[in-house]
């Protein structure tokens, strides 16, 4: 399961007599929750002889799960709820039982609840959504368990024991260049004998590709790179996919474990490495993408050479 800092419950401590949740309050559509509204941090004298708290919602109704003796309630089951009591401790106790019920269905939105008492006002959000479905992946064999033979080992102690076969699928799109494609497959098999390779092929006269852990998908002639990429990626069932051109070659320096390590230990979704051409020239794609707001015609996407910063924990990565 993945949790964002935006999901954490934060309480705003009292600079005014009010304490309330700044974020982290969630309810399923059309369901009910207890609202973590905290008691006013004030004495009876500061709030007057008969302290009162008002709550107002827009996408649901407010109520109480239990009634505390001596507390006056107005608007229970409606969008506006008023609570008052001659004793502050009774009012504080009643606030622990305030409920919110979503009444207007929306799969992902928020209701801004207004919260006030005796000249002090605040607002907080109740997020309305279905809980995200957890993304579950097969972690593969435990370290030390069965390991397939090959010239390259798919994970070792120095690579944190990653089972690359269970985590990564290699995908490519080919057109006519079967000699290059077969060289790519042979090089992958040398170092990663059990990693699945997915090939999307829109050649006019397809040639058969055979071998273990190899999936060859034929397309209409000349369908194109974008369609081929989408087809290949749609067949991936592992956590990660490595996209390569059909004329790439794996070498002893091709370490998928290093790429997986970055993805597993950071919040990044995309990593890449240097590509060394046959001439010896090495290129690395380092571009910053910037979105500039535009007018009625749309926004602009600009690219600039460079990078944002070095990656903590990975001194050779930016």
pLDDT at 148: 44
Is pLDDT larger for residue 202 or for residue 145? 202
Lowest mean pLDDT among 147-151, 156-160, 231-235, 261-265: 147-151
Mean of pLDDT over the chain: 85
Is the pLDDT assigned to residue 154 strictly greater than 50?
no
Statement to judge: residues 181 and 100 lie in one domain: no
Structural domain includes residue 78: yes
* DSSP-based three-state secondary structure for 161: coil
| Residues 47-65: tens digit of each pLDDT | 566 788 899 999 999 999 9
Which strand (E) or helix (H) includes residue 302?
A: strand 300-305
- Mark whether 120 and 189 lie in a shared domain: no
Q: Does the residue 140 lie in any domain? A: no
At 44 the pLDDT is: 39
Q: Is residue 46 part of a domain?
A: yes
User: How much is the pLDDT for 208?
Assistant: 95
- Of 5-9, 119-123, 210-214, where does the model show the most confidence? 210-214
Output the six-digit token pair for 280: 């010896």
Alpha-carbon distance 187 to 15, whole Å?
A: 65
Long-range CB pairs of 207-213, under 8 A, 24+ apart, other chains included: 207/178, 209/178, 209/181, 209/182, 209/185, 211/185, 213/165
- Mean pLDDT lowest for which of 48-52, 71-75, 126-130, 207-211? 48-52
Residue pair 40/28 in contact by the 8 Å Cβ criterion: no
**Tokens 């974008």 map to which residue?**
226
Tell me the residue range of the domain where 242 lies. 164-279
Under the banding of pLDDT at 50, 70 and 90, the label for residue 139 is low
Mapping DSSP to helix (H, G, I), strand (E, B) and coil, where does residue 175 land?
Answer: coil
Of 4-18, 159-173, 282-296, the poorest mean pLDDT is in 4-18
Q: Which one has a higher pLDDT value, 296 or 67?
A: 67
Regarding whether 183 and 122 lie in a shared domain, the answer is: no
- Residue showing tokens 């070659």: 249
Task: Indicate if 265 and 176 belong to the same structural domain.
Answer: yes
Counted domains in the chain: 2
Q: What is the C-alpha separation between 34 and 47, in angstroms, rounded?
A: 24
* Residue 168 shares a structural domain with residue 248: yes
How far is residue 3's CA from residue 11's CA, in Å, rounded to a whole number?
A: 18
Q: Are residues 112 and 182 in the same domain?
A: no
Predicted confidence band of residue 156 (pLDDT cuts 50, 70, 90): very low
Domain boundary among 129, 150, 176: 129
Residue 156 lies in a domain: no
Write down the pLDDT at residue 219: 96
CATH value at residue 211: 3.90.550.10
The pLDDT of 285-301, averaged and rounded, is 85
> Coil, helix or strand for 95?
helix
Please state which of the ranges 41-50, 176-185, 218-227 shows the lowest mean pLDDT.
41-50
Judgement on whether residues 191 and 271 belong to the same structural domain of the protein: yes
pLDDT at 151 (0 to 100): 44
In this prediction, residue 12 has a pLDDT band, given cuts at 50, 70 and 90, of low
Q: Do 61 and 169 belong together in one domain?
A: no
Residue 249's pLDDT is 94
- Decide if 302 is inside a domain: no
> Could you tell me if 22 and 7 are in contact, meaning their C-beta atoms sit under 8 angstroms apart?
no
Confidence of residue 88 (pLDDT cuts 50, 70, 90): confident
Binned at pLDDT 50, 70 and 90, residue 36 comes out as confident
Q: What pLDDT score was predicted for residue 145?
A: 47
Assess if residue 109 is contained within a domain: yes
Task: Give Cα separations from 2 to 8, 140, 237, 264, 267 (angstroms).
Answer: 12, 19, 19, 12, 10
In three-state secondary structure terms, 55 is strand
User: Based on the domain organization, do 13 and 121 belong to the same domain?
Assistant: yes
Give CA–CA dist 56/100, Å, rounded: 10
Question: What CATH number corresponds to the domain at position 103?
Answer: 2.60.40
Looking at the structure, tell me whether residues 237 and 121 fall in a common domain. no
Q: How far apart are CA 173 and CA 171, in angstroms?
A: 7
Tell which of 81, 109, 129 closes a domain.
129
**pLDDT over threshold 90, residue 121:** no
Sheet holding 60-64, edge to edge: 32-34, 98-102, 60-64
Residue 125: inside a domain: yes
Of 81, 111, 129, which one is at a domain's C-terminal end? 129
**Residue range 185-190: mean pLDDT, rounded:** 96
User: Is residue 293 a part of any domain in this protein?
Assistant: no
Whole-number CA gyration radius for the chain = 29
- The rounded distance, in Å, linking the Cα atoms of 180 and 218 is 17
Q: Which phi and psi (to 5°) does residue 212 adopt? A: -70, 150
Can you give the pTM of this predicted structure? 0.61
Separation between Cα atoms, residue 165 and residue 239, nearest integer Å: 10
User: pLDDT (tens digit, 9 = 90+) per residue, 192-210?
Assistant: 999 999 999 999 999 999 9
Reported residue count of the chain is 318
pLDDT at 175 (0 to 100): 96
Burial class for 105, CB neighbours closer than 10 Å (0-12, 13-18, 19+): exposed
| Distance of alpha carbon 86 from alpha carbon 99, whole angstroms | 22
Domain identity same for 253 and 173: yes
pLDDT of 16 reads 65
Say if residue 32's pLDDT is above 50.
yes
What pLDDT does residue 258 have? Answer: 94
Q: Are residues 97 and 208 in the same domain?
A: no
């Amino acid at each position: 399961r993945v949790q964002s800092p935006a999901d954490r419950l934060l309480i705003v401590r009292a600079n005014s007599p009010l304490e309330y949740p700044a974020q982290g309050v969630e309810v399923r559509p059309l369901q009910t929750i207890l609202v973590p509204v905290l008691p006013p941090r004030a004495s009876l004298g500061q709030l007057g002889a008969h302290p009162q708290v008002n709550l107002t919602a827009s996408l649901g109704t407010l109520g109480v799960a239990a009634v505390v003796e001596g507390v006056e309630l107005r608007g229970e089951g409606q969008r506006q709820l008023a609570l008052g009591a001659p004793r502050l401790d009774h009012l504080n106790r009643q606030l622990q039982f305030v409920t919110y019920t979503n009444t207007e269905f929306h799969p992902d939105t928020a209701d801004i609840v207004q919260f006030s008492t005796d000249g002090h006002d605040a607002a907080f959000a109740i997020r309305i959504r279905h809980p995200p479905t957890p993304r579950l992946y097969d972690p593969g064999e435990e370290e030390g368990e069965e390991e397939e033979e090959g010239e390259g080992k798919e994970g070792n102690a120095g690579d944190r024991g990653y089972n690359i076969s269970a985590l990564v699928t290699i995908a490519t799109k080919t057109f006519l260049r079967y000699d290059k494609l077969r060289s790519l497959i042979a090089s992958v098999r040398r170092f990663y004998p059990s990693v699945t390779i997915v090939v999307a092929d829109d050649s006019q006269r397809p040639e058969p590709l055979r071998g273990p852990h190899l999936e060859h998908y034929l397309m209409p002639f000349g369908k194109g790179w974008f369609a081929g990429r989408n087809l290949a990626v749609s067949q991936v069932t592992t956590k990660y996919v490595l996209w390569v051109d059909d004329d790439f070659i794996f070498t002893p320096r091709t370490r998928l474990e290093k790429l997986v390590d970055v993805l597993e230990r950071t919040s990044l979704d995309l990593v890449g490495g240097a590509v060394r051409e046959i001439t010896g020239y090495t290129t690395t794609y380092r571009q910053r993408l910037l979105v500039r707001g535009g007018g009625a015609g749309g926004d602009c996407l600009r690219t600039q050479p460079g990078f944002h910063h070095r990656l903590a924990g990975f001194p050779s990565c930016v």
